[in-house]
Every structure is written in C-alpha cells, then in structure tokens.
Amino acid sequence: MPIFATPDSWILETRNTAYALGINASGALVHRYWGPRLPYESDYPPARDYGEWSSFYGPGEINLQEYPTYGGASYREPCFKATFADGVRDTVLEFRSSEVQGDELQIVLEDAHYPLRVTLHYGVLEDLDLLERWVTVQNFGTDPIRLERVLSAQWHLPILEDYRLSHLGGRWLEEFQWVQEPLSHGVVLLESRRLTSGHQHYPWFALDRVDAPALEESGELWFGALEWSGNWKATFERTEFGSTRVGIGLNDWDFALLLAEGESFVAPKSVSGYSSAGFGGASRAMHRHVRSRLPHRDAPHKVLYNSWEATGFDVNEAGQTELAEIAASLGVELFVMDDGWFQGRDSDRAGLGDWWPDARKFPRGLEPLIERVNALGMDFGLWLEPEMVNPDSDLYRAHPDWAIHFPTRARTEMRNQLILNLAKLEVQDHLINVLDGLLSSHNIAFIKWDMNRNASEPGWEGAQEPRALWVRYVEGVYRVWDTLSARHPNVTFQSCSGGGGRSDLAMLTRADQVWPSDNTEPTARLKIQHGASQVLPACTLEAWVTDMESDRMPPFGRGEDALRRGKLPLEFRFHVSMCGTLGIGANLLHWNDSEREQARALIAQYKAIRPIVQGGELYRLKSPLTGAFSALEYVSQDRAEGVLFAFRTHMPEPVVLPPLRLAGLEPAALYRMDGLEGTLSGAALMNVGISLELKDFSSVLRRFYWV
C-alpha cells in the first residue's frame, strides 16, 4: 500500500522514496517531506505552520503551501489564479475531503465563497520511484469562471539548502543542451510561448544541493518533467527564508480559459522523483516511465531510411525506388519518404494542406512505390505536416479562415506557411478525414509527423475566450492524433518539429520516437543525445547516419576534397547513431561498394545489440561535454550483457586515455568482453576499469556478456 492516509495527513511511498503532506494548525494544506523513504510513519515531519512573521509577511506566506493560489497576502509564484464573474480575482481554497483510489490520492479543495472546486491528484508510481501530480478544476455553479493560471504542481525542496538547477536549453539545430546554474534569491523562469513545447527549453529540471552536488551515479537529486506539448512554464523560486519551490504547468502567458456552468478542466501531468543515485539514477527512472507508456511498448524500433538530407523536395517514384532497393540490400527495415511527395510540393513555398500524391512525381499514385518497398521486405513510412497550410494550396484557397490569424493584422509566414487552427472542431474533423483516408487506402506503417513553425497573431475569431487557443489547439492535436491511432493501431508515429521542437513526454505517449534534431553531425549529436538522455530512453531517439560534415575536423584542403574529409569515419557516424534508434539519412547513391559493405555489417550488428540499447539501462560513463573523449554503456535489465560505446574526437598527441570504469554490472559475475583476453569480474570492470586505445576521430563498440 503506497499511500498512508489519515483525515489530515498523507504519506505517499514508492519503493525508495517518499512524499508527505498534511493540514497544519491553521487548516492549510502544506508540504511536509520529499526525499528518501523513512522507516516509520512517525519519522516524517509534521505539517508546520510558520504563522505571521511580521507585518510584511501575510499569515501563512512562509508556509510551504501545497498548491498556492493568487489570493490573500501572498506574494510567491502562485499555482492558480482565477477571476470570478463579479470581478473578484482572489482565490481562497479550503480543504474539503480526500480519497484514495488504488495508487492515486485525491485531495478536494473548494473556494471559501465561490463554486470552484480544485482537486489535487497524486499518482504513485511505486516501482518507478516517481510521483505524478495534476489538478482538475471544476465550476460547480452557474456563473462562468475565468481561469488565468493553472499549474499542475508545486514541488517543494527540503528547506535551508542552496540548490543548483540543471536543465536543457537550446535552439533549432542545437536542442537538449545541458545547462547548470546555482539558484540565487528570486525566480528563474523556463518556458515556451511558441505553441509547442519548443527547442529553447525542454520541460524537465533537476535540482541538487550546492554543498553536496550530485554526480553521475551518486548524490541526491530532485527532478521532474511536464507532460504537455504546448506552452508551458516552470518557475524556480528561492525565497528569503531559504525555501526553494518549483511551480510547473501550463504557461499563463496570454492564457485564459472560461469554465462555464458545470465545466471542468484537467491540467497536464507533472511527473517527479527523488534519486539518491545521481543523474544516472534519475534518468533511468524516467526512461522506464517513458518506455512503459510508448504506444507500442517493447516492440523493437526499426532501422529506417529517410532520404530528406539526400534528395530534399526532389522525390519521385523512380528515385525513391532506387534508394529503397539499396536501403533494403543494406538491411534497412523501414523506408520513409519525407517531404516533397504531395500536391504542388516542389519547395517549401507550396502544397502543405493538400495531402494527396503529386501526379507529376507519382503518376501512378503511391501504391506502386509502397508495393515495391514491401516486396523488398521493408515497411513504408511517410512524412506529414498536418497542422500546417501554405497560402499556395487548395486547402488555403478554400478555407483561408482556418489559419490562425487576427483579421486586422498581416499573417506572419515562417517557412512560407501558416498554422491551421486546430482548436476548431471542423479543422480537426477535416484532418481526421483526410489522414484517415490516406492511412486506410495505403499500406503505411509509419508517419513522421512534423510541425515546422511557431505561432504568431494567435487570434481565434468567434471564440468566447480566444486566449484559450494555446490549450485548445494542443488538445485538438491530441484528438486528431489519438483518433488516427485508435483507427490505425499498427501505425508507428514519430514526432518532429524542425528537429526536437516537440519531444515532450505527452508526445511520447502518442509517438514511439522523436526526431531530436535536424543537426545530424555526429559530434553535435553526441551532445544532443547526452542532453536528451537525461529524460528520454534511447529507443525514442531516432538517429540517422548522414553525410553531414563535421566542423570539428581540422581543415584539410579545399573544395570537394575538404567536403569529403569533413565527414567523420563511417564507423564513427554509425556508432553515434547506434546509441539511439539507428536510421540512415545519407544519399545511398553516393556510397561506394566498400561503404555499403561496412554499412551492411554495422546494421546487422545494431540489430544484434538492439534489445540492449533500446530496452536496457543507460550508464553515461564519460560526458561528451568536456574533453574529447566520451563513453556510454547500455546494460540489459538482468545485467547479463551489455554494450559499451566510446568516442574520441581531436586531442593533441600523445594522449593516453585513463582507464574506463564500467557501471551497473553484477559485481561477482564473470564477463567476457570483445577485444579483451579472458574474463573479468563485474567488480573489476567497475572498479579497475579497462584501457582503450583510440585514435583521433575514432570510436569503439564492444559487447560484453556473462560467461
């Protein structure tokens, strides 16, 4: 039983961690504890009431409110703000009741005066050592209530410590970049205002103590993420009393929702955890969580080919067939045709919205290509960007008002495209019909669902509350996606937004994988994959081997020669991609026989290690963020086998690499490892380590297993 409840106190326990809350002497719901699980219920601290401290601090302001509202004399970042029909914008939530249903605790709060009910939900993921929090808001009266901020949770850290914040920043071509900074007094804000979860910040955080920093495999860490694919925000507030609180949920920037009589709103889930095994422990918990909710769970993620970087918009039946034949001969399992296949799509200036094959490129439709791909033993996949429309398209000419816009303003185009207003039911229904038709009439096994611009002029004509667009749009995307998935359960989806602009955890309950970045240069990818791996398991990270040059190579010569030499060795590129879900994105026509031969062998090798990479546990042995040497390891769940990857970029000679210590092995078991004589115990591999010899721009992949 992971939930211990009394009428005024609750302890939520997972296998190794605990979270406690309760009602204090003033009747307020406050946080009590978040950290390692303690032996006895009486060990958890009581629900404290810090009372009124001076005339400059409201009663209860210093308390660790479990779900603070905008109301009373309170000046912290609130989780909730509403305006009632009479103009009052002060919310006073009082405890009403609690209920335990299996692994979920619900705490019901109601406003002291108005018919507003806020239910706090706590889901205990006992085996994963994670806790989910979200809220339901209900108007049980008749007058409308305008919601202006509804965060999913407030997470309190143990007080009186100084904390360091780790998060993932970035931009297009440089997603998932690792950032660490101390929290000082004030508020740090991470957010997206772009309609998607965004390239700029990933909705994930980790906090550790400045005086006892977490390392990769040790130390305390409090971490969490938000499961939402639209505008979000996370505030990290350090108060003058040494308390540290994290608010996370929907972004309240330009946001409002009207709750009419009897209506409810359910906020997205926030999932968090406490790790005593550092960043590695935290990310393995997140990986298990994400994997457990993927649409196709444990099914292996196939080796795919995608010709976007090779052919751009220049696709047609003959060219794609030629590439498919080579791809199949290398062992590729899924052939994906990217952008350029549909009506009028010769460049990014036209076509989005008209989702039928362009008759000039596919005079016989898509069927002959799909049949050929299937005959070659591969599944067929297709690129779509359903939420978009080019002004130069039949769809836009028929429905210009379906694009998000303000009638008196220019419609800002980015990549020559506008966004369809998926908050509108008729737009959702149109997309469901068109895409259902496409999937029903072709043998399509995989969809790369792209979203290539951010919102501007966010108008929604006719809506009672147009600022609800930010939320209703995302719910519309979910409805279209979920309807298609329900009708076509065998189709696998990949979420892409100009690379990793929409890679959040809510997407990964709909898509089995994300496209982490349009940057496929392997040294950049090592860093992107390193950041993404804090949250996302390897199976969700699609990684193509391409011919993108490395700007980290020393310059050699000019022209063609420099281009060729700017590419890292094929094996290095493969090894980087084999750390995720392997794909190929290079122009296969340009690969010579020996490159194809090498690719064939590496793809076969990937298929052999795939269960370990895609379903095993990740240990980041040496970060690619510092120095020119990095290493990581995947170990099967039973620790019986694993695979080690190591990469070296450029280092001045001579360089002797330090011994590399492995992790996560069974200490007493004997392992055999490729390239090593005899056997070594898990303890020796972890404590003494192995020495690797690696030349500049080279890599190793070594398998090991119990004997």
Q: Which stretch binds ligand GLA (CB under 6 A): 173-181, 494-502, 602-610, 676-684?
A: 494-502
Q: Does 379 qualify as catalytic in the annotation?
A: no
Residue closest to 144 by CA, chosen among 88, 83, 85: 85
From 280, 498, 566, 664, residue interacting with ligand GLA (rule: CB under 6 A):
498
Minimum CB–partner distance for residue 354 and ligand GLA (Å):
15
Q: Which stretch binds ligand GLA (CB under 6 A): 114-122, 136-144, 496-504, 670-678?
A: 496-504
CA distance readout (Å), 542 to 267, 370, 484, 582, 584: 29, 22, 22, 6, 10
Residue 451 CB, nearest distance to ligand GLA (Å)?
A: 9
User: In sequence order, what DSSP letters do the residues of 72-136 get, joined into one string?
Assistant: SS--S--SEEEE-TTS-----EEEEEEEEETTEEEEEEEESSSSEEEEEEEEEETTTTEEEEEEE
**Whole-number minimum distance, CB 384 to ligand GLA, in Å?**
10
Measured CA to CA, the distance from residue 177 to residue 217 in angstroms comes to: 20
| 308 binds ligand GLA, rule: CB under 6 A | yes
Q: Smallest distance, Å, CB 498 to ligand GLA?
A: 5
Stretch 454-493: interaction string toward ligand GLA, x if CB under 6 A: ----------------------------------------
Nearer to ligand GLA among residue 152 and residue 200 (C-beta): 200
Helix (H) or strand (E) holding 575: helix 570-578
Please list, in sequence order, all residues whose beta carbon lies within 8 angstroms of the beta carbon of residue 572, skipping any fewer than 6 positions away.
Answer: 522, 647, 697, 698, 699
Q: Which of residues 129, 387, 518, 617 is near ligand GLA by CB under 6 A? A: 518
Residue placing its CB nearer to ligand GLA in the complex, 84 or 308: 308
Token pair in block for residue 244: 């540290």
Q: Which of residues 164-223 bind ligand GLA (CB under 6 A)?
A: none
Element (H, E) at 294: none
By the rule CB under 6 A, 645 interacts with ligand GLA: no
- Residue 339 beta carbon to ligand GLA: minimum distance, rounded to whole angstroms: 3
Give, in degrees to the nearest 5, the angle at Cα 420 between 417 and 424. 170
The minimum distance between CB 467 and ligand GLA, in angstroms, equals 29
- The per-residue b/e assignment along 457-467, b for 16 or more CB within 10 angstroms, e otherwise, is bbbbeeeebbb
Subset of 363-402 contacting ligand GLA (CB under 6 A): 383
The answer to whether 75 touches 82, Cβ cutoff 8 Å, is no
Return the SS3 of 309.
helix
DSSP 597: H
Whole-number Å distance between alpha carbons of 159 and 634: 36
| SS3 assignment, position 476 | helix
Give the integer Cα–Cα distance in Å for 643 and 631.
11
CB of 338 to ligand GLA, least distance (A): 5
Shorter beta-carbon distance to ligand GLA: residue 172 or 706: 172
Nearer to ligand GLA, 200 or 272 (CB): 200
Query: Per rule CB under 6 A, is residue 354 in the interface with ligand GLA?
Result: no
- Name which of 398 and 414 has its Cβ closer to ligand GLA: 414
Instruction: Write down the least CB distance from residue 514 to ligand GLA, Å.
Output: 10
Q: How far is the CB of 362 from ligand GLA (least distance, A)?
A: 17
What are the phi and psi torsion angles at 596 (to 5°)? -65, -40
Q: Is 8 exposed, middle or buried (0-12, 13-18, 19+ CB in 10 A)?
A: middle
Note whether 338 binds ligand GLA by CB under 6 A: yes
CB 227, min distance to ligand GLA, A: 22
Residue 236: helix, strand or coil by DSSP? strand
518 flagged as catalytic:
yes
- Looking at beta carbons only, is 117 or 510 nearer to ligand GLA? 510
Contacts with ligand GLA, 94-133, as mask; x by CB under 6 A: ----------------------------------------
Distances (CA, A) of 666 to 608, 705, 706: 22, 11, 9
Q: Is 339 in the site for ligand GLA (CB under 6 A)?
A: yes
Instruction: Tell me the two tokens of residue 83.
Output: 């305006």
Using the minimum distance from each CB to ligand GLA, give the nearer residue, 198 or 498: 498
Residue 462 near residue 456, CB atoms below 8 Å:
no
Binding track, positions 28-67, relative to ligand GLA; x by CB under 6 A: ----------------------------------------
What phi, psi does 5 have (nearest 5°)?
Answer: -125, 135
**Residue of minimal CB distance from ligand GLA?**
339
- Taking the C-alpha atoms of residue 483 and residue 461, their distance in angstroms, rounded to an integer, is 26
Q: Between residues 113 and 171, which has the closer beta carbon with respect to ligand GLA? A: 171
**Options 499, 522, 580, 583; binder of ligand GLA; rule CB under 6 A:** 499
> Residue 540 corresponds to which amino acid?
T
Given the residues 252, 450, 504, 512, the one annotated as active site: 450
Total interface residues for ligand GLA by CB under 6 A: 11
**Out of 28, 373, 496, 539, the residue judged to bind ligand GLA by CB under 6 A:** 496
Least distance (Å) between residue 541 CB and ligand GLA: 14
Judged by CB under 6 A, the residue of 111, 208, 252, 450 near ligand GLA is 450
CB closer to ligand GLA out of 231 and 503: 503
Which residues, listed in sequence order, are joined to residue 253 by a DSSP beta bridge?
none
d(CA 365, CA 384): 16
DSSP 531-549: HHTTTS-GGGBEEEE--PP
- As measured in angstroms, the least distance from the Cβ of 382 to ligand GLA is 11
The dihedral through the CA atoms of 652, 562, 170, 289 has a sign that is: negative
Nearer to ligand GLA, 450 or 633 (CB): 450
Q: How far is the CB of 104 from ligand GLA (least distance, A)?
A: 37
Angle formed by the axes of helices 367-375 and 317-330, to 10°? 10
Q: Which amino acid is at 390?
A: N
Q: Is 519 in the site for ligand GLA (CB under 6 A)?
A: no
* Closer Cβ to ligand GLA, 317 or 450, answer by number: 450
Q: Toward ligand GLA, which CB reaches closer, 391 or 459?
A: 391
In the list 275, 428, 452, 494, the residue contacting ligand GLA (rule: CB under 6 A) is 452
CA–CA dist 401, 211 (Å, integer): 57
CA distance to 127, 311, 336, 414, 619, per residue, from 663 (Å)? 22, 42, 37, 46, 7
Contact window for ligand GLA (CB under 6 A) among 137-145, 159-167, 495-503, 554-562:
495-503
Largest CA distance in the chain: 80
Active-site pick, 111, 252, 354, 518: 518
Q: Identify whether the C-beta of residue 222 lies closer than 8 Å to the C-beta of residue 214.
A: no
Q: Is 546 in the site for ligand GLA (CB under 6 A)?
A: no
Residue holding tokens 């090991």?
704
d(CA 222, CA 19): 12
Give the DSSP letter string of 640-651: SEEEEEEEE---
Nearer to ligand GLA, 383 or 645 (CB): 383
Which residues sit at the interface with ligand GLA, rule CB under 6 A? 308, 338-339, 383, 450, 452, 496, 498-499, 515, 518
Catalytic residues: 450, 518
